Chains A and B, each alone.
Chain A
Amino acid sequence: MNTVVLLTLTGLGLAALYFLVASGLSLVFGLADVLNFAHGLFLGVGAYATWWAAGNLPGAGPDGFGFVVAVAFGVLAGTLVAVLVELVLIRPLYSRTIEQVLVTVGLSLAGVALLQAVWGADPRPFPRPEWTRQVTPVLGAKVPNAGLLLIVAAALVLAAILAFLRFTRYGLVIRAGVENREMVTALGIDVRKAFTLVFAIGGAAAALAGALGGVYFGSVSPGQGGSLLIFAFIVVVIGGMGSVVGSAYAAVAVGLLQQFVNYYGTSGLGDVCVVALLAVVLLLRPQGIAGKVAVA
């Protein structure tokens, strides 16, 4: 029982990480049709900016309120990079989808190499508050606090994104744009502003994932974003592209499956099972669990 509770909660922690990366990816894909390969870079920027801020920014530090400032700085940096990428690289190639994907591919290669050039290829120990290293007893299981932090953060982000999409004017534009971009454009609404906004939201969520992932893993390295990104892609496809709620469901399924199979089977088998799940979902329901019936 203890093990099951522990595995469930650590699995949900992993799911939270996947969701934070996948939600932005899914929104960007749903609205702009861009598969953003540079999304892992936003995560890396968030992680390194938080790491840098905790050591160098006045008022920021590895503990208490200082850590909140450091994470806020990291999220801000990730958001800025995402907005810059959209304005400088993606926007000039408006509606040339393949070229946009290619540019993000180039950016993912160059960006990760740049991080590596500045901070080296080896993992750096991540500054984390003392309490995230401890465990909390839940139903008799000792659950690491870092995982609980991730779950709470992801739940807050999910609620915030849903509220934004449901109750604000821009949320309405984005929801309509995901459904039918041509129609929204024909109504005289500038979808491109929504593109920038969606990139900013995605960048912020990914940067938060980078900062909290640093706490969860205890270290930060340039390639971290890339390896998480592939599972985030899987989550996006299973969840149905463009659906934030679908991403949340899929992230939970993927995180739990991975954690349980890795524990009860051999290590690494869980990752393989996740891809098997992807294959099964595609065979039964090619549009994903919450996707539109017609896929692009």
Chain B
Amino acid sequence: MKQPASEAQQGGPDAAPADAAPVPLTKPAGRTPGGSGGRPPLGLRLDFRTLSLLGVLAALIVVGGITKPDQFLDTSNLQLVLTQASIIGVVTVGMTFVITSGGIDLSVGAIVALASVWATTLATQEYGFAGILFTAIIVGLACGLVNGVLIAYGGMAPFIATLAIMASARGLALQITDGNTQVVTLESVLDLGSRDSYILGVPPLVIIFAAVTVIGWLLLNRTTFGRRTVAVGGNAEATRLAGIDVRRQRLYLYLLSGLCCGIAAFMLIVLSGSGQNTNGNLYELDAIAAAIIGGTLLSGGRGTIVGSVLGVLIFTTITNIFALNNLQSDVQQIAKGAIIVAAVLVQRRTARNGEG
């Protein structure tokens, strides 16, 4: 990465010192949320957007607590909700970076499928725990690399390139498994998903999710890498003129998304004890939806890890409440759609008021 000093000399969008706010100068100042001076538009500061998401989550918790008081507020249910959020959550963190840069990754679900079946097929007993973990991560990274090269250096639109990888990765996953489920019998892997391995009541998968979230937040909000991601999404041409290697940045972003998919694939193997070519089905849509209702702009230039994670938690909590109340999948899907619409409408309102 280039040092900020040279950018400052060129007066590019990333001219500010490393610890200051990422303000994409190339965008109209009014479009920067909460764009008052140098305050970070993203991050831990509780802006109206984050507060509204927390409000939705709180409302859901109230609904869950009222409809099923004994079960919903139970510790084991909290563990369940967080565990169920953790895999798609890790994918969403990677997706948030890609969308913030103005891209999209439609291949995440397929990458999770390919990474999980490859890891469970090639790295079984002989390779052990590390074999499964590293195979999943390497396959994820390799898919991310292909995405990144096609998009950054091949000049393909992210939508098209990742769509192609989505198809190929699913096809490859199907070819590897021949439609069969690869069952994992390795105790060291399975144990990670069992109750005995909870640390102070927290499942290991949730700890991985939390770690990825914190690292993702730091990376997006406190590093040059993060500011460049925002800048590329805000105005790629201006960023390039500012002397930043936009192509390399894009490559890194799809690698990052692939890495997250590899980690998620490993987590899915732990949770389900198997690899199947249908794994990660529709993850791309869930991750995009969570990022968007979290407040990340689909057009790029603004991203929020906290919002994305809240988006994932909202979806998982809804599913949980519905299941506890024995509502069927049709109702769940309708409600999920309604929540997406409502969240985005609320945000548009607040954004407009904020910019007033």
Question: Does chain A bind chain B?
Answer: no
Q: Which residues of A contact B (CB under 8 A)?
A: none
